Amino acid sequence: MGFVKEFKDFAMRGNVMDLAVGVVIGGAFGKIITAMVDSVIMPVIGMFTGDVDKFDSLTVGPVKVGLLIHAVLDFLIIAFALFLLVKAMNSMKKKEPEAAAPALTKSEELLIEIRDALKK
């Protein structure tokens, strides 16, 4: 039973649950961005290249460059959006006040006085 309890403790730890929620939300967010790229950005690119389907089928030798550019656009938009989200969350996080220096002991005060006297 030790293994099962250890696994349960690991799985229910806050960081693991946060990661699971992040992965699910990230997957859904990726679908939204893909839909935006497919329905908004690629038609604009298609206006310049003549046709979106022509752009997606663009190849250089065996490499499908159009699909590669499409995937890179997806990635860049997702990365930028996540950067903005993390930046906003960090700015909303309360900053902890710096801890005050601990009070000096009598011996430390005496050592400081001796040091200052020697400097003169």
pLDDT tens digits, 54-113 = 677 778 888 888 888 878 888 888 888 888 887 888 888 777 777 777 888 889 888 999
- Range of the structural domain that residue 61 is part of: 2-119
Count Cβ atoms below 10 Å from residue 38 Cβ, excluding itself: 14
| Structure tokens given for 98 | 């710096």
DSSP strands (E only) in the chain: none
Which is more confidently placed, 9 or 80?
80
Domain count, the chain: 1
Q: Is the pLDDT of residue 36 over 70?
A: yes
60 phi and psi angles, rounded to 5 deg:
-125, 100
The predicted pLDDT at position 14 comes to 65
Contact 50, 91 (CB under 8 A): no
| Structure tokens given for 116 | 């200052």
The domain spanning residue 69 has which CATH number?
1.10.1200
Average pLDDT over every residue of 6-17 = 74
Nearest-angstrom CA–CA distance, 62 and 92: 48
Which pLDDT band, with edges at 50, 70 and 90, does 1 fall under?
low
* DSSP single-letter state for residue 51: -
